[in-house]
Every structure is written in structure tokens, then in C-alpha cells.
Amino acid sequence: MTDALKRLSEEGVAIWLDDLSRKRITSGNLAELIDQQHVVGVTTNPSIFQKAISEGDGYDQQLADLAARKVTVEEAIRMITTADVRDAADILRPVFDATGGQDGRVSIEVDPRLAHNTAATVAEAKQLAWLVDRPNTLIKIPATKAGLPAITEVIGKGISVNVTLIFSLERYREVMDAYLAGLEKAKAAGLDLSKIHSVASFFVSRVDTEIDKRIDALGTDEAKAARGKAGLANARLAYEAFEEVFGGDRWAALDKAQANKQRPLWASTGVKDKAYKDTLYVDDLVAPGTVNTMPEATLEASADHGQITGNTIAGTYDQSRREIEAVEKLGISYDEVVQLLEDEGVEKFEAAWNDLLKSTEAELKRLAPSEG
């Protein structure tokens, strides 16, 4: 086994695990990954919780108690998910303290059904921050049009945010703008900017999956030559935008007030196409000041045979632009693809949330005490 994960950390990439379950917490597995695999954060989403709650009996005791109290399904989900996030945050607290609050973070998502409602998203973010009540939590807000002002509002209240479901470069710039506006609000309110953190979750593999599908439908040799390049190119150009915004005058004023940069987080880094190496979105997206959140299979693959060769983003911007242009020249619209992916991303999380409601409701019924 190589120590590629150690090298990745040394290159300035924070390794986060894209998974959480009660079993992972109680078995000591999460603590082990922190200790042995350089994991310094955890991300969750509705799909992850749905899978965790529907498998095994790790939640039975809490579900039985909730059933006895006759709580609603929605309240049960909130109690269960925030308990897991709180416990994971406590396990990661030493990392949080050691990194001055930058890492040691656990993310929890607002109800995805609120993705197009700004006021409800803000209210939900405040509620989640209060419920978890740990300084090392990040509240996940989707980068929809309605999510952007919510990000500004929530950051302005001093709540740290993980902005999720970012696919396009234009939307990413809007996300950074929303973050800076939130910091300016927080500064005007006299809040300590050094305590506010944020990451921007830029999705990678889904871009390749959608564009490759369209390339395969064309079937020409010219089209096939463009396979598997758009996801990396898109992410690398996002890093270029990050360097530009956080090297500009607007940022300089906030930097003086001890604000933290909003780090790009590479999400959706599990490789979907077996034609590509399984560590592609780790090895080829190395740059300082980034986060890579990996499903466990990707984490294990990277630990076993990852090839970390230094910064693999620097010097790639012109080539990346050419690769996106090559896709456009095939008649595949970048703007159409990224909008579709955003819409589908919200729909998938909504569907997972609805599945979570159904499976939790079934468990509450199964474990409810008999009347008498």
C-alpha cells in the first residue's frame, strides 16, 4: 500500500469522506479513517442517510423511542440525522481545533424540497445549525438561483456553509460572489469573520457521465477523442476562477478582516465509467487549498494505488478551455448539460429524501409499541 493519501494531504488537499452512518460512528471506523487514512472531514446528503437508515439495525433504539413519543416522520429524520452529525462532529473536533477550524467539518443538508425557496432554506439552515449545535458543522445549501441569496443571508448570520450541486463555471462565480456578499454582511454586523468557513462543492464525474453519453450517441472517432475530458477540464477552470476571485481587490478587504477563503471542494469523485482509472478525479485534481470528498471505494483505491505527482491543475487552463470547446464543436451544449445536471441533482436529492421519509415511516410503524 502506498501512502498516496499522505502525499495528497501534503499537497494541500483536504481529504473528506463522502459517507456517514451510525455504524461507522459506533464501530470506531470513522475514528480509524481519521487516524490512518488522513480523513479530516465528512460530507452527507439525503442519499447517504437514506442508505444508512434502511440498512441494519443501528437506528432501532432511537426509532423505537421516537415511535413511542409518536413524533412525525419529518421530526424523526431530523433527530436521527442531526444525532449522527453531532457525534461525527465530536469525533472530528480534535482535527477542527488543530486546523483552526478549517477542517474537522461535518456537512448536513437542508431539506432538498426547499431548493427553490430562499426564505425556507435560510430558516432551515438556522434550525439545523441550532439543532446540531457544534462549531464544526457546515450547512449544505444547493447552488440553485434561490439558493444564492440564501447563502449570502446564512453566511451573514455567521453560519458556515457547504454550497452543493455546482456544475457550471458561471454558477460557481455566482456562488463565490454570494459568499463574499455574506462575509460583507457579517462584517457590517460586527461578527468575527475568522470563525466563518465555507466550501463550494463542484461536481466532477456527473459532467463526464452526461457528456460521454452524448459523445457515444454521435459515435464518430472525432467525438470519441473527447471522452472523459470535460469533467476534469470544467473543475480545473473552476480552480482558475477561484484563484482569480480570491486574488482580487474585493477579497483583499475581507482578507484584512481575517476572513477565510471559500475552498473549492471536488464532489462526485467516484469514477462511474470503468474505462477510466478509479482514482482519476483524485490524482488529476491536486492543488493547494482544495478539498476532495471521496466515497469509501475511491478513498481505498487512492490509498492503494493513487498516483500523487504534485499539482495537476497548474498550467492546464488553456488545454482545459480547448477541451470544453472541442465538446461544443461536436454540437454538445455545455450550458444545456450543466443546467440539466443541476436540475437532475436537485431532483435526485428530493427523490432520496422522499425515500428516506418512506423508509423511516415504515421503521417507526414496525417499532411502535403495541397499544394497551
Q: What is the pLDDT of residues 132-189, one digit of tens each?
A: 999 999 999 999 999 999 999 999 999 999 999 999 999 999 999 999 999 999 999 9
CA-closest candidate to residue 186, choices 174, 175, 195: 195
Q: What is the pLDDT of residues 290-330, one digit of tens each?
A: 999 999 999 999 999 999 999 999 999 999 999 999 999 99
- CB 268 within 8 Å of CB 203: yes
Give 116-125 contacts, CB < 8 A, sequence gap 24+.
Answer: 116/144, 116/145, 116/146, 116/346, 117/146, 118/146, 118/147, 118/149, 118/150, 118/153, 121/146, 121/147, 121/150, 122/150, 122/153, 122/154, 125/150, 125/154, 125/159, 125/161
Work out the average pLDDT over 322-342: 97
Q: How confident is the model at residue 57 (pLDDT cuts 50, 70, 90)?
A: confident
Q: Is residue 140 annotated as part of the catalytic site, yes or no?
A: yes
Distance CA 335, CA 356 (A): 32
- 275: amino acid identity, one letter: A
Q: Where are the alpha helices (DSSP H) in the chain?
A: 4-10, 22-26, 29-36, 46-54, 60-68, 73-98, 118-132, 147-156, 169-188, 205-218, 221-224, 230-245, 249-256, 280-283, 296-305, 317-329, 334-367
- Whole-number pLDDT of residue 2: 57
- Whole-number pLDDT of residue 1: 46
Distance CA 289, CA 242 (A): 10
Q: What is the pLDDT of residues 98-119, one digit of tens each?
A: 999 999 999 999 999 999 999 9
Q: Write down the mean pLDDT value for the chain.
A: 96
Instruction: Single out the catalytic residue among 6, 140, 145, 348.
Output: 140
Q: What is the pLDDT of residues 228-261, one digit of tens each?
A: 999 999 999 999 999 999 999 999 999 999 999 9
| pLDDT over 80 (residue 266) | yes
